[in-house]
Amino acid sequence: MLKIREITNHDEWDETVETLGGHPMQAWEWGDLKAATGPWTAHRVAVSDESNPNDGTAVGAAQILVRRLPWPFTAIAYSPRGPMVADHGNYGAVADALGDWCKRQFHAVSLKIDPPTTAISLSDRWQEGAHVLIASTAIVDLRPDIEDVMKSLHSRNARNYIRKGKKTGIDVRLGTAEDVDTVIDIYKKTAAHDHFPIHTPEFYHEAFTRLGKVGQLIIAEHEGEILSFMWNVTNTWGASELWAGATDNGRKMRANYPLKWGAMEAAKKVGAKRYDMNGLLNDGISEFKKSFQNVPTNWVGTYDLPLSPLFHVWEGSLKLYRSIRK
């Protein structure tokens, strides 16, 4: 029988994520940011097997974000890039146990998961769901020596632009709190140029503070001018890209090549095993990502566990809302 225990100690949760090889979006800091800036509360729970002689050892765990909904829907639950398991053969049982806990604790209408794995076995209670994070991505293996990582990059042009950037004086460094306003301004202009929505400036200031050790803001600059930035969440599982932008001058100088390489170097320095570019679409940005890794990794996708008869009503109302917004 599986037992659920909520973890409220930061250090204990860090150890659990490290032991189970959890994605950085399972880190305490990511949940803290989502709780501080949106309609979510973050709950960290460990799953243990009571029949195991080593009772108390986690066989799985998940950071679960819970959002309260208006009556009669109560709440929804989501575990970004979770849950984590010690043995993938137990994935289905761990996922079911977490869903049942969400139902008991919050009367949630559903639990959504999108684990970073290429194979999964879930019970027939689960169904494919609308994605939050994109399943198809490009990943660079950071475990070899850094010279071998460079050799592994798909495109010769990418390697050449990285070297050229250094020769032309483009410096790549970790960002500071003093850089955030400039980064926000670049991101606003990038979003207007490429037509995508972004958060408020307050959100990104909170992100810099709340993400702490798992946040890596990478800056590419030339003679003191910030040309581009990359903002990732990183732990030993790997680095996962969040937000990025470039100035017109940065695009002309192809600063994004040394920038992304610098982000990989920064991730490797803290023990990251992989660099996840977090999503491939049929667009120019994806073609740029493929110059680093041309073989996509396809995670299993997004799954929903309905926990209430109202789940399908909720899903229907969401689809209607989205259709009206278009």
Which among 97, 78, 84 is positioned nearest to 31, based on CA atoms?
A: 78
Identical topology for domains 2-133+299-325 and 136-298 = yes
pLDDT given at position 11: 98
Inter-residue contact 117 to 300 (CB < 8 Å): yes
State the residue for tokens 């590419």.
Answer: 220
pLDDT given at position 54: 57
Which among 101, 136, 97 is positioned nearest to 116, based on CA atoms?
A: 136
Residue type, 52: N
pLDDT given at position 50: 83
Residue ranges of the domains in the chain?
Answer: 2-133+299-325, 136-298
As beta bridge partners, residue 136 has 298
Which CATH fold would you assign to the domain 2-133+299-325? Aminopeptidase (3.40.630)
Inter-residue contact 286 to 241 (CB < 8 Å): no
Each residue's pLDDT expressed in tens, for the chain with a length of 326 residues: 899 999 999 999 999 999 999 999 999 999 999 999 999 999 999 999 987 655 568 999 999 999 999 998 999 999 999 999 999 889 999 999 999 999 999 999 999 999 999 999 999 999 999 999 999 999 999 999 999 999 999 999 999 999 999 999 999 999 999 999 999 999 999 999 989 999 999 999 999 999 999 999 999 999 999 999 999 999 999 999 999 999 999 999 999 999 999 999 999 999 999 999 998 887 888 999 999 999 999 999 999 999 999 998 888 777 655 555 55
We find that the CATH architecture of domain 136-298 is 3-Layer(aba) Sandwich (3.40)
pLDDT given at position 285: 86
Distance set, CA 187 to CA 66, 197, 238, 255 (Å): 28, 10, 24, 15
The pLDDT tens digits of the residues spanning 142-186 come to: 999 999 999 999 999 999 999 999 999 999 999 999 999 999 999
Q: Considering the entire predicted model, what is its pTM?
A: 0.94
pLDDT given at position 56: 67
The pLDDT tens digits of the residues spanning 85-127 come to: 999 889 999 999 999 999 999 999 999 999 999 999 999 999 9
Start-to-end C-alpha separation, the chain: 46
Residue 89: which residues within 8 A CB-CB, separation 6 or more? 121
